[in-house]
Structure 1
Amino acid sequence: MKNSSDEVMTPLKQHAVDALRRARKLPVGPHRNDLRQLAMGLRRLDREGIGRNFHHREAGLQGIAETRYPG
């Protein structure tokens, strides 16, 4: 079994944890639900590796722009 201290948190996962902690402090209602939904979405993005791939895509797009529009 993994300890939480052994696992390195990605920025997306850390943001999700922070959103859930903030949601727990709120009373039941729409603001709490919004934070919980945000956390679920961030966890999903983290699991699918979206955050890790974003920088590679961004660099690739920048390279394409430089070849098309040098200067």
Structure 2
Amino acid sequence: MESDPNKRPTATNICHRVGYWLEEMEQDDDNETKKQFSEADNIKPKLKSPIHSNDMYTSKSINTKKITEELNQELKK
């Protein structure tokens, strides 16, 4: 990623690029864009990121009522 923000693509540029890719994917012919996305789809399942034993990948509910009660008690002190 480019560290200089002025050298990064704008959101408009990215939007146009993705739009172009989508148009290319909808075409009937086997164009270069389709080939590259197909290759990437084949590579993606092979990529595995290391999993750290302390990482958590599931959501947990948070009891906001209890938090609010605790904060209110602290404010009353």
TM-score by length of 2: 0.26
Q: Select the structure of larger CA radius of gyration.
A: 2
Q: Which has the higher helix share?
A: 1
1 or 2 for the larger relative contact order (CA 8 Å, sep ≥6)? 1
TM-score by length of 1: 0.28
